[in-house]
Amino acid sequence: MISDLFQQAIGATANTISENAALLNELDAAVGDGDHGSNLSRGFLAVAAQTEELASLDMGEALQRAGMTLVTTVGGAAGPLYGTLLMSMGKAAPCGALLQVQDIAFMLDQGVAAVKQRGRSDVGEKTMLDVLGPVGEAFHRAIAEGARGSEVAAKLVAAAEAGVEATRNMEATKGRAAQLGERSIGHPDPGAMASYLLVKALCDRFTDQA
């Protein structure tokens, strides 16, 4: 069974994505086709609608199920990529045991590696990976430094924020934005913004409860 806290986290992700759908569409209109917010909010709301069903599963299964829902509902480039992220994190989750921060950091590593493989992409190409990659690294650094609870959360949010900002001056070489070449420079990546919003909502949720 996933905990109440994780059920609340599902709601928090759906809220932040739907509240910011217009912003994400606007960012995507500048470098792509303007549908990133609509795509993701459809998916995260579909996952939130399954909360009761997900709650009866253990963490790994719940993440894999949520990932499949994203694949079938989001569409676009982002659907398979966020789906892959969640499914791979789910596969890396320890069975039954209560999650420790180290487990979450490891799950994120596995998720990021799978997104890179699926997207044939890497950090530095103006995508969601420019947030998720640095957040994963910040997570390991924070653990190594002995940071706890809200300190870890603050470091992850700071890494996510810096990650989105860094995409502004990058030239897109993957996804629809790559068609713009140099003209993609000057706009933050919508996928990176969505990943920042997700990291922030999750960190805020966990910090509130700490």
Q: Smallest distance from the beta carbon of 106 to ligand ADP, in angstroms?
A: 21
Interaction of residue 21 with ligand ADP, rule CB under 6 A: no
Interaction of residue 19 with Mg ion, rule CB under 5 A: no
Interaction of residue 32 with Mg ion, rule CB under 5 A: yes
| Subset of 33-52 contacting Mg ion (CB under 5 A) | 33, 35-36
Interaction of residue 134 with ligand ADP, rule CB under 6 A: no
Q: What are the backbone angles phi and psi of residue 188, rounded to the nearest 5°?
A: -70, 150
3-state DSSP assignment of residue 33: coil
Contact between 185 and 122 under an 8 Å Cβ cutoff? The reply is: no
**Hey, how many other C-beta atoms are within 10 angstroms of the C-beta on 75?**
16
Closer residue to Mg ion in complex, CB, 34/94: 34
Q: Which of Mg ion, ligand ADP, none interacts with 129 (beta carbon under 5 to 8 A by kind)? A: ligand ADP
Question: Backbone dihedral region of 10: left (phi > 0), alpha (psi from -120 to 50 degrees) or beta?
Answer: alpha
Residue 156 identity: L
Helix-strand-coil split of the chain, %, nearest 5: 75, 0, 25
Given 2, 9, 48, 129, the residue binding ligand ADP (CB under 6 A): 129
Site residues, ligand ADP (CB under 6 A): 28, 32-33, 35-36, 39, 76-78, 81, 119, 121, 127-129, 174-176, 189-192
User: For binding to Mg ion (CB under 5 A), which residues are involved?
Assistant: 28, 32-33, 35-36
